[in-house]
């Protein structure tokens, strides 16, 4: 992709990096290392990929300051603390970003009782109800809905078709992607005379600064109190958070995971896709969850779990390996029983199970 | 939360409850017991939480008529049949509910060939196609879409961004939350000459009275005939029901569960989150399904199942406990085999498996 | 359902089929065989259902040319290569399809910098951004969003509320159902100084001809390069495809399945519901995946797998059957150990596990 043409020296200066090779090389685009062509800047994030330097056509490559480089013909290098992070910094500064000018599309429905900061963009067919407070430079995509009293912090972006229900509070520099719903009513009923009666959901949702939420997620509001996603947490697509859930700082949750009511997830937790958590449990900081794990109880900090029910990951793998051998184990035990029966030491009971296995 | 200030006596009268203590206490708000402050009404639903009466600052507490109360200083009590249900009754009557006045937002697209009952509310950017029939006091949120010939019974509420496809029939007092889709085409193709050809979906969806559907669900229409959700059933978020599924009365389904085509789920069934049902099976009344269960065959009434493939829950738990012991069992059988081999009674075969376990 | 009244002879001619019985029978409707009444055309797709010919009230039935028919009183038969496919052909030609006339609803927001083909329909409240190219006879439902530079091939249909993000390319005769999102940003962050920094997603999504995507799906764009769904693939509802995934030709994916980043799925693959795939793996052509399978590694072509972790389906079934017998196996091994201990040959260790099973 084309960027504003810039010399390698200037990019290194912007990044606070050290240049090795031709500092005057003109950089005109960016690309991943295996696709980079003449004029492109690329990056190598891990030392084991350094041999790609010998094949790439890139004009310059971002590498880590602590990589050990062997001599050879190669593109200009820019040594930085974190090459991928530096690559993102270059994209943010030098890649043209054709954004629409701020302004409110005439087809948007904006209540006269909403308060809008400077430089707000509101797309076609959006609805902003009374009492909303929208911070500076917020971008609200086409067809978004903001219920009465919703608050959006400055610098946040709602992609098209996002629903923010009444009174929900969104922090600064938050991103919510297409079609996600923040503040739906939680799933709670009281059974009375054989019928389910809806529990009013009087709480709300608080999304702290720098959080990102993917597409078509559903984040329910608290029954009382709040559902809260703490600073810097990142959620993928089609995730469900029930009422009164807490997600800790910098926690990362992959697609299609669901968290039941009132469960508290700690900080810096890593959750793979399609994981399920029962309600009312505590998930410790720095825990990790394998894909499709079914988490049925609280998990202490710094633990890696997987499987259903979720348990220590190394133990789960040992059990899975043992299950692979289970059909053969049944035969081995049968052989032992026959041997001892032949000795007259064991009576094979009538109801001793037959080899009735499927498959 | 503030309610219309009302004396405890009046609340008790509204509920048909019996007051114990100061009937003149003025109630000005409602809160859960652990958060209740001066002037608040709260409730205790289970006798084992009665000791919270000694600590709460609540002015009055709803308790069950059949609780045994010990003497002590405490707030006013209102004895009722079902404290949580009574609490909801108070919220419904005394909590201010700032609803927009009925009316059709001028930005809504309403076909002149649609029929609207009295007191209908239609939000901004909604679309109501020809032939729709919308009952009295129905609330249709911003950006909702109602296809041609859709029918919505009186008192029902569609949250913003709901899609009701053509000819779908929604009963009375139904709630559909943000972004749910009722009446998408089912997933069916005929393979012909190596390609999949779409089967037209000529059926519809019928949602009976008092049903609630959460956010971002997808309910497919019947291929022929109907997909039907019976009276009082409650669905959480991100649920998928395929073509021609039936969900019985008062059945409760938690988030991210999926039901394949033509499966019939009985009444008063309880289904936890992320459960999957294959197609063309019958699920008996009063069954219960553990989270992430994979249901591969019909299940008789009054059964509790879990796991994959779903089986009797007690049996599943015994098996899971046994799996925990499986790596150690492999060692024990190995020890028995060695013992008998040392006796000359067993020849350890060449291909006897090695300890090759992972982890 | 009523069709344009047509004689059986004419239907047979349209299908290139051979008629057996009264070619003058007037056909006035279509219905599945068990519901068909007087005047209806129906079909039988499998020979084992041929005895339904004796009970049906249908006026004519489509049957396969290779079925062996026994003599008897019966409706007119039309022999064709593929009865269900022929039935669809009749529906497509003879069932009235009340479509709105082509045209752009005045409430739609269409950029003057978009290019529209002939016969395009754009529903109320849709948004078409600058640079979009929309082919002939494309139907865009109410409230759809097309970001800048999106391209839609001729004959495609977007149901209401679909989001097509900027630069996404949709082929010809593609169907995208309600609420699906094509081109959301992928889930990728670089960790730097303890915080997650969003990786810009500069790639796109390409949907080839004849693909169908169900409701409320999320298809992420490539980080670089593309996410691609190849010709004729069919996706059900609530499916998640991450960045840079490829889905091969004619592959079929059931609801709530998720595919992680950069995984390549081959052609003619069949994937049941709620399956999960980890990232960066290769799935061979003509593979099949059981419901809820958790796929943790590449799978060779022509394989059937199931379970978690996904493995050969026959092996998985043998293991599941063996697990059913595991609690009893523990008892049998215990009995063997006791027997040998009684012989003085085995010392039962102190820490020999007790019968501590749950349930």
Q: How far apart are CA C291 and CA A186, in angstroms?
A: 28
**Testing the interface with B: which of A181, A257, A262 to mutate, by most B Cβ within 10 A?**
A181
Length of chain A counted residue by residue: 359
Q: How far apart are CA B185 and CA B35, in angstroms?
A: 47
Task: Identify the three-state secondary structure at position C218.
Answer: strand
**Testing the interface with C: which of A236, A286, A342 to mutate, by most C Cβ within 10 A?**
A236
Please give the average per-residue pLDDT across B59-70, as a whole number: 92
Catalytic pick from A161, A201, A240, A243? Answer: A243
Interchain CB contact of A238 with C (< 8 Å): yes
Q: How far apart are CA B6 and CA A86, in angstroms?
A: 62
DSSP string, A330-348: HHHHHHHHHHHHHTTS-PP
Are B30 and B58 in contact by the 8 Å Cβ rule? The answer is no
Chain B residues near residue C88 by CB distance under 8 angstroms: 190, 197-200
Using the beta-carbon criterion (under 8 Å), do B218 and C346 form an inter-chain contact? Answer: no
Strand bridging mode B18-20 / A304-306? unpaired
Q: How far apart are CA B281 and CA C58, in angstroms?
A: 27
Measuring CA to CA, which residue among B277, B224, B273, B274 is closest to residue B247? B277
Task: Compare all CA atoms of chain A with the CA of C202 and give the residue at the minimum distance.
Answer: A1
Interchain CB contact of B308 with C (< 8 Å): yes
Categorise residue C194: left if φ over 0, alpha if ψ from -120 to 50, beta otherwise: left
Task: Compare all CA atoms of chain C with the CA of A218 and give the residue at the minimum distance.
Answer: C216
Q: Is the predicted ipTM greater than 0.90, yes or no?
A: yes
**Testing the interface with A: which of C159, C185, C272, C280 to mutate, by most A Cβ within 10 A?**
C185
Q: What is the mean pLDDT of chain B?
A: 93
With 0-12 / 13-18 / 19 or more C-beta atoms within 10 angstroms meaning exposed / middle / buried, residue B187 is: buried
**From the CA of A45, how many Å to the nearest CA of chain B?**
28
Q: How far apart are CA B115 and CA B128, in angstroms?
A: 10
Chain C residues near residue B194 by CB distance under 8 angstroms: 250
The 10 Å Cβ neighbour count of residue C111 is 15
**Testing the interface with B: which of C327, C345, C351 to mutate, by most B Cβ within 10 A?**
C327
pLDDT at C99: 67
Using the beta-carbon criterion (under 8 Å), do C234 and B317 form an inter-chain contact? Answer: no
- Which of B61-70, B336-345, C118-127, C214-223 shows the lowest mean pLDDT across its residues? B336-345
Could you tell me where the DSSP H helices lie in chain A?
8-15, 83-94, 313-324, 326-342
* Per-residue pLDDT band at B355 (split at 50, 70, 90): very low
Q: How far apart are CA B357 and CA B334, in angstroms?
A: 14
With 0-12 / 13-18 / 19 or more C-beta atoms within 10 angstroms meaning exposed / middle / buried, residue A294 is: buried
User: What residues have CB less than 8 Å from A97, skipping those under 6 apart?
Assistant: none
Q: How far apart are CA B273 and CA C42, in angstroms?
A: 39
Task: Identify the three-state secondary structure at position A9.
Answer: helix
Block means of pLDDT (10 residues each) for chain C, 359 residues, are: 95 96 96 94 94 93 92 88 96 84 94 97 98 98 98 98 98 98 97 95 97 98 97 98 98 98 98 98 98 98 96 95 92 90 74 40
**From the CA of A181, how many Å to the nearest CA of chain B?**
7
CA-based angle B200:C61:C47, to the nearest 5?
95
Chains in touch with B (≥3 Cβ pairs < 8 A) = A, C
Active site residues of B: 243
Q: What is the pLDDT along chain A (359 residues), one digit of tens a residue?
A: 899 999 999 999 999 999 999 999 999 999 999 999 999 999 999 999 999 998 999 999 999 999 988 877 789 999 999 999 999 999 999 998 776 678 999 999 999 999 999 999 999 999 999 999 999 999 999 999 999 999 999 999 999 999 999 999 999 999 999 999 999 999 999 999 999 999 999 999 999 999 999 999 999 999 999 999 999 999 999 999 999 999 999 999 999 999 999 999 999 999 999 999 999 999 999 999 999 999 999 999 999 999 999 999 999 999 999 999 999 999 999 999 888 888 777 777 644 444 433 33
Task: Compare all CA atoms of chain B with the CA of C250 and give the residue at the minimum distance.
Answer: B195
Task: Give the CA dihedral A164, A165, A167, A170, nearest 10 degrees.
Answer: -20
CB proximity under 8 Å: C 174-233 to A: 179, 181, 184-185, 187, 189-190, 192, 194-200, 202, 216-218, 220, 223-225
Are B269 and B283 in contact by the 8 Å Cβ rule? The answer is yes
Chain C residues near residue A273 by CB distance under 8 angstroms: 240, 258, 260, 276
Using CB atoms, which residue from A98, A123, A333 is nearest to C127?
Answer: A123
Using the beta-carbon criterion (under 8 Å), do B238 and C234 form an inter-chain contact? Answer: no
CB proximity under 8 Å: B 70-99 to A: 81-82, 84-85, 88, 91-92, 95, 98
Task: Compare all CA atoms of chain A with the CA of C309 and give the residue at the minimum distance.
Answer: A320
Chain C residues near residue B203 by CB distance under 8 angstroms: none
Interchain CB contact of A123 with C (< 8 Å): yes
Using CB atoms, which residue from A145, A276, A326 is nearest to B274?
Answer: A276
HSE of B32 in the Cβ direction (CA atoms, 13 Å)?
12
The 10 Å Cβ neighbour count of residue B68 is 6
Measuring CA to CA, which residue among A142, C289, A329, C274 is closest to residue B325? A329
Using the beta-carbon criterion (under 8 Å), do A177 and C181 form an inter-chain contact? Answer: yes
Angstrom distances, CA of residue A289 to CA of A272, A309, C190, C285: 6, 12, 19, 30
Helix (H) or strand (E) holding C205: strand C204-207
B121-154 as b/e: b if 16+ CB within 10 A = bbbbbbbbbebbbbbebbbbbbbbbbbbbbbbbb
**From the CA of A237, how many Å to the nearest CA of chain C?**
7
* Per-residue pLDDT band at B99 (split at 50, 70, 90): low
Using the beta-carbon criterion (under 8 Å), do C358 and B318 form an inter-chain contact? Answer: yes
pLDDT in tens, B181-204: 999 999 999 999 999 999 999 999
User: What residues have CB less than 8 Å from B24, skipping those under 6 apart?
Assistant: B7, B8, B9
Active site residues of C: 243
Task: Identify the three-state secondary structure at position A320.
Answer: helix
Using the beta-carbon criterion (under 8 Å), do C359 and B240 form an inter-chain contact? Answer: no
- Which of B262-276, B325-339, C196-210 shows the lowest mean pLDDT across its residues? B325-339
Interchain CB contact of A111 with B (< 8 Å): no
Task: Identify the three-state secondary structure at position C295.
Answer: strand
pTM of the model: 0.95
Chain C residues near residue A340 by CB distance under 8 angstroms: 336, 339
Chain B residues near residue C273 by CB distance under 8 angstroms: 240, 258, 260, 276
Query: What secondary structure letter does DSSP report for A69?
Result: P
Query: What secondary structure letter does DSSP report for A152?
Result: E
Q: Which residues pair with C197 in a beta bridge?
A: C190
Beta strands in B131-245 (DSSP E): 133-134, 139-140, 145-146, 151-152, 157-158, 163-164, 169-170, 175-176, 181-184, 189-192, 195-198, 204-207, 212-213, 218-220, 226-229, 234-235, 240-241
pLDDT at C351: 46
- Whether B262 shows a pLDDT value over 90: the answer reads yes
Using CB atoms, which residue from B98, B238, B333 is nearest to A333?
Answer: B333
CB proximity under 8 Å: A 127-166 to C: 141-143, 159-161
């Amino acid at each position: 992709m084309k960027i504003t043409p810039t010399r390698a020296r200037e990019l290194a200066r912007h990044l606070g990096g050290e240049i090795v090779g031709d500092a005057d090389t003109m950089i005109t685009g960016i690309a991943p290392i295996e696709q980079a062509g003449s004029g492109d800047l690329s990056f190598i994030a891990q030392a084991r990929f350094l041999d790609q330097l010998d094949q790439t056509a890139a004009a310059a490559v971002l590498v880590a300051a602590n990589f050990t480089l062997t001599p050879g013909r190669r593109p200009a290098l820019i040594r930085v603390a974190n090459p991928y992070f530096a690559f993102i910094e270059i994209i943010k500064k030098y890649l043209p970003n054709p954004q629409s000018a701020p302004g409110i599309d005439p087809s948007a429905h904006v209540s006269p009782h909403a308060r809008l900061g400077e430089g707000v963009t509101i797309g076609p067919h959006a609805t902003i109800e009374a009492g909303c407070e929208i911070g500076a430079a917020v971008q609200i995509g086409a067809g978004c809905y903001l219920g009465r009293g919703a608050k959006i912090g400055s610098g946040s972006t709602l992609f098209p078709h996002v629903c923010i229900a009444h009174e929900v509070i969104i922090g600064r520099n938050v991103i919510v992607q297409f079609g996600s719903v923040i503040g739906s009513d939680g799933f709670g009923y009281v059974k009375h005379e054989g019928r389910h009666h809806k529990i009013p959901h009087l709480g709300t949702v608080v999304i702290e600064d720098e959080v990102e939420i993917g597409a078509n997620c559903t984040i329910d509001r608290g029954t009382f109190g709040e559902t809260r996603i703490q600073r810097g947490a990142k959620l993928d697509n089609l995730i469900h958070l029930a009422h009164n859930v807490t997600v800790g700082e910098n926690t990362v949750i992959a697609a299609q995971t669901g968290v039941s009511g009132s469960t508290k997830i700690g900080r810096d937790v890593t959750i793979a896709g399609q994981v399920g958590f029962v309600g009312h449990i505590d998930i410790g900081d720095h825990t990790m969850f394998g894909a499709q794990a079914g988490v049925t109880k609280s998990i202490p900090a710094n633990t890696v779990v997987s499987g259903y029910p979720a348990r220590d990951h190394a133990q789960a793998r040992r059990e899975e390996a043992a299950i692979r051998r289970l059909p053969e184990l049944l035969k081995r035990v049968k052989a032992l029983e026959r041997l001892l029966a032949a000795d007259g030491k064991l009576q094979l009971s009538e109801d001793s199970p037959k080899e009735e296995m499927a498959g």
